[in-house]
Structure 1
Amino acid sequence: MKRWLDKSLKRKLSLLLVVAAVLPLLATGVVSYRIASLVTEEKGKESGLNTLGQIADKLDFVVNDAENMSIFIIGQKDIQTYLSYQAADVNLFTQNIGFLTNLAFSKKYISNITITSASGYPPLSSTTILRSGLPEVLAQNKEAYESGPKWWSPLYENMTTEGLKRVISLVRPIRNMNNFQTIGTLAISIDEAEIRSYLTSAGWENKGYLLLVDRDGSILSGGNSDWSGRPVSRYLPNIPLPEEGRGTFAYKLNSEQETIFYYALPSLHWKLIGVIPTDIYKAQNKYVLTVTAVAIGIALLFTVALVLFFIQRVTRPLTVLAETMKDINPEGAFPTYEVKSTDEVGLLLHSFNRLYDRIGRLMDQVQKNEAMKKEADILALQAQINPHFLYNTLSSIHWIALMNKDKLISEMVGALSDFLRFSLNKGEDFCSVQQEIAHAQNYAYIMSMRFQEKFDIAFYVDPQLLPLPMLKLLLQPLIENSIMHGIQKKKEKAHIYVHGERQKGAMKFVVEDTGVGIERDKLLDLMSKLRGEEGAKPEPGKSGYGLRNVHHRLLLHYGSETGLRIESEPGAGTRISFTIPITEGTP
């Protein structure tokens, strides 16, 4: 791809302009889609809350109607008379049964109306109840029931002649209209099946479900009748439901993302809860996404076509110029182009004509520079004669010493010869670790002859490092620094240790001595000189010059992660180390 672009300015401009045009369009499409999807989602949520509001209005109507009916029943004269008589009246019993039956029959949502006498008279009921769950519910909620003038029960079951009925009852005491003494209890039971019909008629079964929950978190009714009477936390664990108001929030159930709708009925502390999978909104957004994608696609096609057309018009003169210049012979004469336009292409041709003379002069200058370079190479070759003459002279001295059986002079001259030969190293900057160690050992041997009984030196180098390449002349200046500035000033015999070890993809070398060490102020000054700070540059031959040379060579060849690290304690010695990466060959 990169090569394909590099071969044509037209391709680069086309790609650049197409990208510049496409990205804003795509961004516009994404933003438009996001806004449309958010609007759609908000509309869906608002519609869901409106549905809950309509159901809540129906439930409020049922609750208010039942409470108004209870007041009407309590104030009915025949009811008051039946409950207040000293003995049960059969005629009033029959008359009141008919009254309650007609009243319950007129309200579809009423399952049963029951009046229980405090005097033990036969109860009045609009339906024959074989077994009622109300006494057990009243016993379990005695404190809540007796704390107010009316009380709505949780869901319970009644066994009637029509079968098992699940009901929610409004229970309130009946008091005598004259002395306000309690003479009975009224229970108006609301059929749960009728409430469930309100919930299922909302049409949520295709996408979710609705629940009616009481103040204790128990399900009064829902789309699934098996859930009725059970705690909502069993199906929606840890769901946070505000006590008041209405709204929506996201809820995660079994790794599935749901949207929860809630609508509180403050009069009874009941709550309507709607649950819809969030994927429903995503499905609703497919149409918006399709329309947006089609519109953006058409805009992209027009944009790309226009971009390519204008790029072709702009780059055609440049293409012709490039084809012409491609056939120019660099060794021959450069042609002069006739300038016909004043635009950028015309200015380019005019500049080419002006540069032609300048290029000729530069070619002459290059030829002169090449001649001067060859002359410098010859002088450098001549300068190498002296080192070779020195090698030959040292070799002659070495053999004379051997012939005179002076082993010490022979070994010292041999070490010096090897030392000088390695220093030049044919002009190369890198050597093997083994060669670097041998060079350091030659230097140490020569210095041990000079400073006899002053120090001894030991090398501990991992054999696996010996064939690996490294920058030459790194260890010898460190050993020299230890001898000249650490050991020479010490009266007792000192020791030098040279370590070399492998650390993952790097080699670490340490030169450690037991000399006089470095004072803290001097150590800080030395570190400043190594960093080359202003006013701290050492002079050749002074303390720190060799260390700074090694430090800078490490930085130049291996990067800023290398460099010398110096640690010293006065009277105990100095430790200098550096770490360099392992390379397969000469860097």
Structure 2
Amino acid sequence: MSRAVGSRLGRAIRLDTLRGRLSILLIVVTITPIVLIGFTSYYWMYKGQSEKIVANYQSMVDGQRAAIEKAAATLGSVSQLLVVDGGLGDDIIAYLTAADPVEKTELFRSIDKSLINIAYSNLIVNGLFFFMPDYPSAYQFESAPIKPDLPDTVLRPRPEDVLYRANQLMFLGPHPSALAGHDEPVLSLTRLVEYGAGRSYYMYLEADFGELLRPAGTEAKGAPLNVLTQADGTVMYSDLPEGAEVGQHLDPQSEGLNTFKRFESAGGGGWRLYSLVGLDDFRRELRQWQRQFLLVAALSILVTILAASYIWRMVYHPIQRMNRAIRRFSHDPSAKTAIATKLQEFDMLFASFQSMRERIIDLILEVERKEKRRSELEVEKLMSQINPHFLHNSLNTIQWLAKANGQDEIYNLVKVFTRVLHYNLGKGSMVVTVRDEIVALRDYIELQNVRYDHRFNVSIDCDPRLGETPIPRFVLQPLVENSLYHGLLSEQGDIRVTIRKEGGERLDITVADDGKGMTEARMNELLEGGGRGQGLGIGLQYVKKMLDVHYGGAARLEIDSEPDKGTRIRILVPIRPEGGVLDD
């Protein structure tokens, strides 16, 4: 079994076959980056991932430390509002020393209202009260009921209960809340305020310590455990069941801490906050990344093997089929074989071969069709010459019959029409002189005057020196015809045709009327080739085409019109285009 597989694999990777070379090439191209890039970068990726995890946990403990310091600063700021000489403490002293009951009541209400405002404006403060040992009711102005068995150490703390001192402020390490019905650990501030002949009172403020350590989103499984110590290392708060008990000195080398990764952040008063992360939790992210790396490497190798096999079938099988089809063509050129490889490149290659074969046959048939068509064109050419000739002869017969019968008006009309028809259907040059174009235009105007009973007037103003200037044939009549049909359709009016030299190098041909004009949208439509199928569009398209053919981009056609104010069409063409003469 293993020999058969090895023999089959050996045939598959022979270097003298396309399949073997493709397989080896794909394996080398895929495995090499995995080995050289993947494993050489593994160390740096591992190091970067480790540093990222360490930075995240360190950032977390730094944030907790900053939250504690911010809470302590807020408690200190609030206590500053309650001292004597400028703070609420003056009102408290006045309250303590007042003898008038009415005055005392008013002072109590004012102090209580101020304390409520202070508490609501500093949400981090969970509770506050004043302890007045020399007053009959020792606890005054409490924000919530106080525990009846409140330890004396809360107001007169021992050194081991103080997290740190800041001048007259004493910040106590986490201890149960002084408020009744609350046992959560709090960070508190106790401040002694002295007034008058050795008399004094204490103010107390507290903030929820648990909220400072565990903000929203940190209660998930694997969250770090916290230990808070004084500057000398005495534990004041601990989440550990053993190895860091409250009141003991923290020993980083104790067995209870060996299963944790330790992160620490020092506060301004010398105290320290430790964040302990289980080694399994710390390494979980690294192991997850390692598994992903190995999975990608395994998938890359698997994809390489599958890709080599797929490319072999994708390339070699169509080549074999095409080779068999070509061999059949060599024996029987008329044989047709349809091959569908489902690959555009191979299908296009085979289609090109089939198209080349069919094209040869089509070329032979095309030669035969062209020979037959040539004979037909010769007959059509003779007919195209006979039909205008027959039309001219018929018009001449009508003309002389009208003359013989004394119909001079019909005689003159047919004579002019014959000249116009001869000019328009003439087989002469497509390039004429300005003089010839004007003569033909006058004949056309004479015909239209008879049709419209001389309701319009056409004036032609041409510089005599431009009479022999060459221009394309049949460009004036379409422009004048547009003015007649679309400008002066049912009204009397004037049409002015002017031909001048512009700038010494260009010929300026202008046809203007005082008819009903057109909108700017309609002008743009005509200039862009719109109006196809209408008289105005057809005439302008013909003129534009003639200008493009004979002058290219050197000619310009302009339309200037306003509704009810007439239309002005202007043509600017070079008098002497490049080459010296117009192309005919």
Category of TM-score, reference length = shorter chain: 0.3 to 0.5
TM-score if structure 2 supplies the norm length? 0.39
TM-score if structure 1 supplies the norm length? 0.38
